[in-house]
Amino acid sequence: MKRKEDTPVRIIRRRYEERHREGRVQKYKVWGTSIEREFSDEIDAFLKEHDLKKVDLIYEGYQALINRYAKKNE
């Protein structure tokens, strides 16, 4: 794969990426998951309808699981 021509903007972006990559990797985690397209589309439609972000789904789902398993362990 041939690299695109260097422009001032691309050079600046590469330098920025080099300086900030490690901090971003430490601060954020990306989960490479796969689910069926139909289910994914259903989730996306629900989130859009209720003006929610995927991260809201993760937080709420995690809290629901914590509550569910806390009750089982009582």
Mean residue pLDDT of the chain comes to 91
Domain containing 25: what range? 8-72
**1 in any annotated domain:** no
Q: Which helix (H) or strand (E) holds 28?
A: none
CA distances from 24 to 16, 18, 27, 51, 70 (A): 12, 11, 5, 26, 33
- pLDDT score at 51: 97
Total of domains in the chain:
1
**3 in any annotated domain:** no
Indicate whether 59 pLDDT > 80.
Answer: yes
**48 in any annotated domain:** yes
- pLDDT score at 37: 93
Mean pLDDT of 53-62: 95
